[in-house]
Amino acid sequence: MELIAGDIGGTKSWLAWVTGTPGGAQQLRFEHVYPSAAFATADDLIRQFMADAQQAAVADCLLLALPGALDAQHTTLTNLDWTLDVAAMRATLGIASVRFINDFQAAAAGVATLTASDVVALNLRPAEPGGVRAITGAGTGLGLAFMLADAGGGYRSFATEGGHVDFAPANAMQARLLERMRAEYGHVSWERVVSGSAMNDLYRFCCVEHKRPLPDAALDGAALVERAGSGDPDAGAALDLFIDLYGAWTGNVALLYQPRGGLYIAGGVAGHMLARMQSPRFMAAATDKGRMRGVVERTPIFLVTCSRLGVQGAIASALAQPNPVLPQHVNSNTAAIRRGT
């Protein structure tokens, strides 16, 4: 099989060309990361990738992991102005097999490809073999999926749109944040406060809280981290608030799924603030669940540091056997092919 697998994000899209067979060895021919906004359509992106790959072989399968809800293999993306349809892409690109899955369904499948060096334990508890797993993460948006063990010893992944459930404040300051965000957006989901796209709103809220002027330009997460490092108190307060909110959301996921097999935190935002994610503040917010505190405390929670998780999961999903086994994969750190754990 000549496979193009892609992890499509609101900010960047990571594509890989792989040759392989279900359950067998695979070889990475080419991969590249593109800024998503540089392309008007997904077709344009795939055509550019195929041109850059310069492969003599013809791709016969395309699998894209997409940030949005799928409706019969048709979707309009949440944080990117693209509408995709499987039948249309099959015709325009001339690829025989085209399939879409949710981006966090791919991330969930990618968990089986991780090694010990790809994760950091935030709550060091033993993972239960065959236990439910869950994965969530803030990138441009906020994703959530869960995994159930199957009879073959692998895991099946299931997508959700849980990041769009209603945001609930945990204290008076967060209640003020909710009111400000409600005035701006109407419905306020958790994605509105725990995502890369939330960073600018959190910073402006902290400026208002501290009665300081609002910035002229919008700030992303990287700029916020840089400002905080330079001593900007509002940037530091915004990052503390983000960690409180991210921790609270993670605790909610632990209560929803009781993922004794592991709760994994992925997404690009955490990569900009690894020290803050590993701070006691994060787990304090996660475990602040009243009578259900112990449920979160017993949950093994891991921060994924592998930047290739989404595309590894897309490859694994495309090459999965009918009775899934742990796939071979290209490890993010070594680029060597070995079997998932």
Instruction: Using the structure block, give the residue that is written with the tokens 């699998």.
Output: 63
> Average pLDDT over the chain, rounded to whole?
91
Whole-Å CA distances, 130 to 29, 109, 153, 263: 33, 15, 8, 13
Band of residue 239 on the pLDDT scale cut at 50, 70, 90: very high
Strands 61-66 and 97-102 turn out to be parallel
Cα distance between residue 103 and residue 64, in whole Å: 8
Is the pLDDT at 338 greater than 50? The verdict is no
Cα distance between residue 242 and residue 196, in whole Å: 10
The arithmetic mean of pLDDT across residues 144-155, rounded, is 91
CATH 3.40.367.20 in the chain: give the residue spans. Answer: 115-305
Is the pLDDT at 332 greater than 50? The verdict is no
State the fold for domain 115-305.
Hexokinase; domain 1 (3.40.367)
Strands 328-330 and 119-123 turn out to be unpaired
pLDDT at 331 (0 to 100): 36
pLDDT at 41 (0 to 100): 95
Band of residue 22 on the pLDDT scale cut at 50, 70, 90: confident
pLDDT at 321 (0 to 100): 55
12: closest CA among 113, 69, 80, 59?
80
Would you mind telling me the total number of residues written for the chain in this entry? 341
Beta bridge partners, 119, equal 304
- 1-5, 70-74, 281-285: least confidently modelled range: 70-74
Q: How many CB atoms lie within 10 A of CB 280?
A: 7
pLDDT at 341 (0 to 100): 30
Is the pLDDT at 311 greater than 90? The verdict is yes
State the fold for domain 2-103+307-339.
Nucleotidyltransferase; domain 5 (3.30.420)
Strands 301-304 and 119-123 turn out to be antiparallel
Is the pLDDT at 333 greater than 70? The verdict is no
What totals of helices (H) and strands (E) does the chain contain, helices first? 11, 15
pLDDT at 324 (0 to 100): 37
pLDDT at 216 (0 to 100): 86
pLDDT at 276 (0 to 100): 95
Q: How many CB atoms lie within 10 A of CB 104?
A: 33
- 153-157, 178-182, 237-241, 250-254: least confidently modelled range: 153-157
Band of residue 132 on the pLDDT scale cut at 50, 70, 90: very high
Strands 155-159 and 262-266 turn out to be unpaired
The arithmetic mean of pLDDT across residues 166-183, rounded, is 98
Euclidean distance between the first and final Cα of the chain, in Å?
A: 24
DSSP assignment letter at 298: T
**What values do phi and psi take at 248, rounded to 5?**
-60, -45
* DSSP assignment of 59-124: --EEEEEESS--SSSEEE-SSSS-EEEHHHHHHHHT-SEEEEEEHHHHHHHHGGG--GGGEEEEE-
Cα distance between residue 106 and residue 1, in whole Å: 19
